[in-house]
Amino acid sequence: QPPAGSGAGAQVAKRRRLEVPPVKCLDRETYLAKMKEVLSPMVQIGAMYSSLVDGIVTDPELMALPIHDHAIVRGHAVFDTCSVVNGRLYRVDIHLDRHIDSALSARIPLPFGESSEACKERMRTIIAQTVVASGFRNASVRYYTSVGPGNFGVTPDGCRPAFYVVVMGKAASVIKAEDMKGIREYTVDLPLKPGMLAKTKSNNYMLNVLTAMASKDRGGNYGILVDDEGCIAESCVLNCTFITKDRRLITPSFDKILAGTSVRKIMDVAHRLVAEGVLTAVSQEKIQVATAKECVEMLLSGGDTHLVPVTHWDDKPVGTGHVGEVTKRLIQLVKEDAEEGVDDHYDLEYA
């Protein structure tokens, strides 16, 4: 005889039934209306382009990715940015160069053209068209290249590469206007990204997010990361720059971190301050924490035009505890380049 409690009858008895109340499936009009309501208090996006439809939309409720896009499914996507300053694209080429390098590093097929240069030209045109469609003359642009939608698999087999562009008002910037007056910052004990992810601007920003959160927990903003050699690495989405007592501008080398475009512009304009005698040198080098702590000025940079002075670090003043004179000059020079320069700009024609 089988033991008591065995057999089909016992198996049936162990099965559980989940009582689920009936739910109404939304029709298209109801869904879009609800999405419009949900999105209305959120960040203002002026326009979005999707290569899947090869078109631009300006209704926020239509700005969407397929749920099986591998940017969501596996994070297999890269992104980059540029700025719109007084109706001109600013520094789009240096960002696109990095973007295409990131896509190739991530083995994402380029969505346009027969070559990297052809793809870059097409992307630049689409970015310009999307900015014009938004109507924004001062904005932040973010664009993504993904292996695209197709399935929920691991590899991109069966997926269609996709390119997306969004144009956001300046209010959407990570950096706030009040930050430019000086912030408090804290060293964060989190690991750096491994080499490939550190140098590829991928969608994998979990460590970046946790870095900022850890600093905010202590009253900071973005966090300061240190590498395994005890050297300054970077902030969550920003590069670090210091002014030493002997008036050298120093910033970490790019061997373990993303090659920031904004800090490259800072180094460029800083050579003018060397010529004026304000600075004695400009250098990328390994910077021990102890060396950084002795510096008289400190700033973080990102987003092309955002230079954020750090006036207190780990609860101690940096220099005088106020925004330094060299930092003020750097902010001025970058602002002038963005607003009045010609080398990194494209004029746009608005309707």
For the annotated catalytic residues, the residue numbers are 201
In this structure, are residues 262 and 254 in contact, taking their beta carbons and an 8 Å threshold?
no
CA–CA gap between residue 104 and residue 101 (Å, rounded): 5
CA–CA gap between residue 278 and residue 191 (Å, rounded): 36
Q: How many CB atoms lie within 10 A of CB 349?
A: 7
In this structure, are residues 226 and 210 in contact, taking their beta carbons and an 8 Å threshold?
no
Would you give the distance in Å from CA 239 to the centre of its chain?
12
What's at 169, amino acid-wise?
G
> Rounded to the nearest 5°, which phi and psi values hold at 294?
-85, -5
Strands (E), 5-118: 45-50, 55-57, 77-85, 88-90
Can you read off the two tokens belonging to residue 348?
């746009």
CA–CA gap between residue 205 and residue 96 (Å, rounded): 19
Closest CA to 87 of 49, 132, 53, 44: 132
Can you read off the two tokens belonging to residue 286?
């390994």
